[in-house]
Amino acid sequence: MKNLHLREGSDEDLDLLADLNKQLHEDEKYDNKLDIAQLKQRMRDFIHTEYKSFLFEMPPRVIGYGLVDMTKDPLYLKHFFICRDDRLKGYGQHCFHKLLEKLNVDSIDIEVLAWNGRGIKFWKSLGFQERSIGMRYSK
């Protein structure tokens, strides 16, 4: 994994970021259905405000991405995604630690959807602990 590196995403990466975000929504069974054009605009809005995107690259391809709110203390990792074909190979843990190193932080906050058992297991394997339970009522 010594070939793995991170680079900050930019406007040139918006199509890729939107596609990766779409896959993240599918995998998480996210309840906010956005089309690819909406996701692209959303990613554009993110990276032109307080967020930074980071692409995880294992040349010659991108294997995932992260999206971080740079204004929170501790920082807030809003998105973290490893491509489906690259899972269960240790890349997720390695990318996460590489991201912390790049951000020069020792702590970071996340949220995981309650029904995302694989995600919860992954984050707990990295040492994350539950701090709160978010709830929603809707008719």
Handedness of CA 23, 40, 67, 95 (dihedral sign): positive
Give domain limits for the chain: 5-125
Query: Which pTM value belongs to this model?
Result: 0.92
Q: What is the pLDDT of residues 2-23, one digit of tens each?
A: 889 999 999 999 999 999 999 9
68-97 pLDDT per residue, tens: 999 999 999 999 999 999 999 999 999 999
pLDDT band at 30 (very low <50, low <70, confident <90, very high): confident
Tokens coding 79: 């998105």
CATH code for 5-125? 3.40.630.30
Phi, psi of 34 (to 5 degrees): -120, 145
